[in-house]
Amino acid sequence: MDGLPTWAWVLLALVALTLAWVLHLAFWTRRYLLDLPYDDEIELDAPDGGRFVLRRIRGAPDDARPPVLLVHGVAANHRNLDAHPEVSLARHLAREGRDVWLLTLRSGLRGRRGPVRFDAMARHDVPGAIAYVLSSTDASRLDYVGFSMGGMLLYAALARAHVAPTQLRRVAIVGSPGRVVSPLAGLGLLVRAPTWLLPTVPLRAGARGYAFVAELVHTPLHRIVYNPANLAPRHAAHALVNVIEDVPAGLNADLAAMLRAGEVLCEGRPVLAELSHVDVPALFLAGAADAIAPPDAVRAAFEAWGAEDKRFEILGTVSGATHDFGHGDLAVGLSAVDEVFPRVASFLA
């Protein structure tokens, strides 16, 4: 062993570090992985070769209200709105008797197929999910809840007529910006690089590797994603392991283009100006300390929305909450149980 060349020692060290990292991920994933039951799970193929998945939580069978479709944000899957039994907008609505459907966009699936682009999800995933839910429930309209990118996709689908306003009864938008701003100093310069240089961002492994110290170590970067004060013990770790997914390179390029333009784009054109015809009642919720979707960025979509029956609220100490809401804690924060979920349920009721 003493006679091994330097390169061999370096190789052995790299192998040992890789093995330690794999074992680290496996241990903490096993500890915090939390499977939740669903009444139905349906995989659907899009016309462009993509795939998306719907999961259903049935409410009271005699409930006459329309089904509710929940759509998650970027770097996440359907568990974004169903992270933990104690903090789940989906199960909150189901307990109130609603027929709840959770969409997993193609960006939230592992083993993805087809182009994972914003335009493709606005053209195929969201309209396809709405059509399937309406057909399966014999409903003429449904209620839509969009978190972050889930709301942005609805803006785009409505603006490009991929979704008709007549398919929607009421809409709840949670932390979905209409104006796209940089949450991090210097990011605006980075996204000006050629789009072919933007890689897939492997957030899933990073989130799982960080989960074990999520309650102890709060870096400025993590504070951009959520307000740690709004998460209950263990919920941050559960969310990191069960919710977070990689961001594909193509979707990164689309988001970079929006950041350069300063607003939501679909098919290369801004969408907000084309929402004036949408007369669907809508609730817009923004976190007071949200760096990803600041209140003014969400307000821009609220002001562009054409319906007379619409509301805009900033959630935080100004609304009576104990803490100001960041971004992720609008969906998975313990305070969301008292501040976000009842507002959404009441509006949709």
pLDDT digits (tens, 9 = 90+) for 252-296: 999 999 999 999 999 999 999 999 999 999 999 999 999 999 999
Among the residue ranges 140-144, 205-209, 302-306, the one predicted with the least confidence is 205-209
- In this predicted structure, what is the pLDDT of residue 242? 94
- In this predicted structure, what is the pLDDT of residue 193? 65
pLDDT tops 80 at residue 187: no
Q: What is the spatial distance between Cα 4 and Cα 296, in angstroms, rounded to a whole number? A: 61
Q: What is the spatial distance between Cα 136 and Cα 211, in angstroms, rounded to a whole number? A: 38
Q: What is the spatial distance between Cα 226 and Cα 205, in angstroms, rounded to a whole number? A: 18
Residues 305-309: what's their mean pLDDT? 98
**Helix, strand or coil, per DSSP, at residue 201:** strand
Other CB atoms within 10 Å distance of the CB of residue 85 = 10
Domain CATH code at residue 238:
3.40.50.1820
- In this predicted structure, what is the pLDDT of residue 80? 97
pLDDT tens digit string along 209-236? 888 888 777 777 777 888 888 888 778 8
Q: Average pLDDT of the chain?
A: 91
Among the residue ranges 112-116, 162-166, 288-292, the one predicted with the least confidence is 112-116
Residues 68-75: what's their mean pLDDT? 97
Band (pLDDT 50/70/90 cuts) for residue 110 is confident
The answer to whether position 196 is within a domain reads yes
Share of the chain above pLDDT 90, in %: 67
Residues 244-251: what's their mean pLDDT? 93
Residues 6 or more apart whose Cβ sits within 8 Å of residue 147: 70, 71, 72, 73, 80, 81, 174, 175, 176, 330, 331
Write out the DSSP string of 86-133: TB-HHHHHHHTT--EEEEE-GGG-SS--S---HHHIIIIIHHHHHHHH
- In this predicted structure, what is the pLDDT of residue 186? 61
The answer to whether position 45 is within a domain reads yes
In total, how many domains does the chain have? 1
The answer to whether position 342 is within a domain reads yes
- In this predicted structure, what is the pLDDT of residue 68? 98
pLDDT tops 80 at residue 121: yes
- In this predicted structure, what is the pLDDT of residue 62? 65
Range of the domain at 342: 9-348
The answer to whether position 1 is within a domain reads no
Residue written as tokens 């839509």?
A: 144
- In this predicted structure, what is the pLDDT of residue 72? 98
- In this predicted structure, what is the pLDDT of residue 133? 98
The answer to whether position 266 is within a domain reads yes
- In this predicted structure, what is the pLDDT of residue 20? 80
The answer to whether position 101 is within a domain reads yes
Distances (CA, A) of 13 to 10, 26, 44: 5, 20, 45
pLDDT tops 60 at residue 245: yes
The answer to whether position 40 is within a domain reads yes
Residues 83-99: what's their mean pLDDT? 95
Across the beta sheet with 282-287, what order do the strands follow?
40-45, 51-57, 100-104, 68-71, 142-147, 168-174, 282-287, 310-315
Distances (CA, A) of 56 to 61, 90, 125: 13, 9, 16
CB burial of residue 182 (10 Å; 0-12, 13-18, 19+): middle
The answer to whether position 4 is within a domain reads no
